[in-house]
């Protein structure tokens, strides 16, 4: 199968379940809201070594937020529910409460399968000086006095079992062509709600495999995917055709499988329009890693 003259491999991306939260962070200005959102989603590319996977989903205009201020929706993900609660407490407590003029609201809404009392627990920072109010919808909001005024946070934040590990590889005739296509793909995915691309700038430069090949490196949980490294294609059993000299991977997490599929479709469609892109493939472990198998060709 081809799309815009680019070969789409007959293979699948292998996703796996992950607990996901979806949170709206607002502030007095868009810049301050983005600063807080960026801090809250730091060091969260991959749960292989990071304490969580997280990213900024989208900007939200003041006309669409509960407090009439600009904001950003972020998603924070963890394999365990208890781990997700811990990450929410740490990231919102250390990175958002500390940021000027911020407020935190649940953005999972009716998609939530459960709710965590994150706001209720963070309100103890108020040392008894915090106050509580109820919205017309019956939601509880805590106001914690700080030097910059009041930090506001919704008492409960919704979570659900989402999908992590949606992915595709962009293969091009040069590194710059592959990189340009990856950036365009990430921009397209940014327009797909309820998904994030957790790696730096949304792009994976260092695709990995589970475990190791070299027995001397048996202490490693994950190592470089040598079959997809262009500089090694002449010296190892490579998965890269001779004309390919640039490869980048896009990894996608989302609140459900349909959201991840939509993001993959949008990203691939955008990438295939870039000159020099020759092939799109995906990473999987034959179905051994996760229960979600997203077939690339079926997306189209």
- In the three-class reduction of DSSP (H, G, I as helix; E, B as strand; rest coil), residue 251 is classed as strand
Taking the C-alpha atoms of residue 195 and residue 265, their distance in angstroms, rounded to an integer, is: 12
pLDDT band at 30 (very low <50, low <70, confident <90, very high): very high
Q: Which residues contact 20 (CB under 8 A, 6 or more apart)?
A: 75, 76, 77, 84, 159, 160, 161, 162, 253, 254, 255
pLDDT band at 223 (very low <50, low <70, confident <90, very high): very high
pTM of the complete model = 0.95
Query: What mean pLDDT, rounded, does the chain reach?
Result: 97
pLDDT of residue 287: 76
What does the pLDDT average to over 267-288?
Answer: 93
For residue 248, list its beta bridge partners. Answer: 170
Which pLDDT tens digit goes with each residue over 35-69?
A: 999 999 999 999 999 999 999 999 999 999 999 99
Closest residue by Cα to residue 186 from 260, 281, 248, 267:
267
Q: Tokens representing 269?
A: 């469609």
pLDDT of residue 152: 98
What does the pLDDT average to over 178-198?
Answer: 98
Q: Which secondary structure element, helix H or strand E, spans residue 158, and what is its range?
A: strand 157-172
Q: Which residues contact 89 (CB under 8 A, 6 or more apart)?
A: 118, 121, 122
Q: Which residues contact 254 (CB under 8 A, 6 or more apart)?
A: 20, 75, 162, 163, 166, 194, 195, 196, 260, 263
| Domains, in order of start, for the chain | 2-14+162-299 (3.30.70.520), 20-160 (3.30.70.520)
Percent of the chain's residues with pLDDT above 70: 100
pLDDT of residue 158: 98
Which pLDDT tens digit goes with each residue over 244-273?
A: 999 999 999 999 999 999 999 999 999 999
């Amino acid at each position: 199968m081809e799309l815009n003259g680019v070969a789409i491999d007959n293979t699948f991306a292998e996703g796996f379940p992950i607990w996901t939260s979806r949170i709206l962070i607002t502030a007095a200005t868009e810049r301050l809201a983005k600063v807080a959102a960026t801090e809250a989603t730091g060091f969260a590319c991959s749960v292989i070594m990071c304490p969580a996977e997280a990213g900024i989903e989208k900007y939200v205009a003041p006309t669409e937020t509960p407090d009439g201020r600009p904001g950003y929706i972020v998603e924070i993900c963890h394999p365990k529910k208890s781990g997700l609660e811990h990450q929410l407490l740490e990231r919102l407590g250390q990175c958002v409460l500390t940021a000027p003029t911020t407020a935190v609201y649940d953005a999972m809404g009716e998609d939530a399968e459960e709710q965590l009392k994150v706001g209720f627990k963070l309100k103890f920072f108020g040392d008894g000086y915090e106050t509580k109010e109820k919205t017309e919808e019956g939601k509880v909001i805590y106001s914690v006095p700080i030097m910059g005024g009041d930090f506001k946070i919704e008492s409960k934040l919704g979570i659900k079992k989402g999908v992590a590990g949606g992915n595709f590889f962009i293969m091009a005739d040069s590194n710059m062509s592959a990189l340009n296509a990856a950036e365009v793909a990430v921009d397209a995915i940014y327009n797909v709600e309820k998904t994030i691309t957790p790696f730096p700038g949304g792009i994976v430069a260092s695709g990995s495999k589970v475990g190791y090949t070299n027995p001397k490196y048996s202490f490693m949980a994950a190592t470089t995917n040598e079959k997809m490294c262009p500089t090694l294609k002449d010296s190892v059993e490579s998965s890269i055709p001779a004309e390919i000299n640039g490869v980048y991977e896009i990894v996608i997490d989302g609140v459900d499988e349909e959201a991840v599929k939509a993001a993959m479709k949008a990203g691939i469609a955008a990438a295939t329009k870039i000159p020099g892109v020759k092939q799109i493939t995906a990473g999987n472990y034959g179905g051994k890693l996760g229960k979600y198998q997203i077939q690339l060709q079926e997306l189209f």
